């Protein structure tokens, strides 16, 4: 919703942190309920978001 309404962009730190935190929540929930494949894919999702954060930091360091 925030992305669709223009309040955040996909290249913003807040968007990436929301992906990390939501991924962590799904990892905990999936693991708790024994849905390990779902937990694993959400770990990957978190990794993608962390990669995005690192790219944002690199781009800001070069500016």
pLDDT single digits (tens) 5-38? 998 998 899 999 999 999 999 999 999 999 999 9
Distance from C-alpha of 55 to C-alpha of 13, rounded to nearest angstrom: 10
Q: Which of 24-56 are b and which e, b meaning 16 or more Cβ less than 10 Å from the residue's Cβ?
A: eebbeebeeeeeeeebeebeebbeebeebbeee
Q: Name the pTM for this structure.
A: 0.86
Integer Cα distance of 15 and 9 in angstroms:
7
What is the pLDDT at residue 33?
98
Q: Above 80 in pLDDT, residue 63?
A: no
* Confidence (pLDDT) at 60: 86
Query: What residue spans define the domains of the chain?
Result: 13-56
């Amino acid at each position: 919703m925030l992305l669709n309404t223009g309040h955040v962009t996909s290249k913003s730190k807040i968007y990436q942190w929301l992906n990390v935190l939501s991924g962590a929540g799904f990892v905990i929930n999936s693991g708790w309920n024994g849905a390990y494949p779902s937990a694993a894919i959400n770990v990957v999702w978190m990794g993608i978001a962390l990669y995005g954060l690192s790219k944002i930091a690199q781009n800001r360091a070069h500016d």
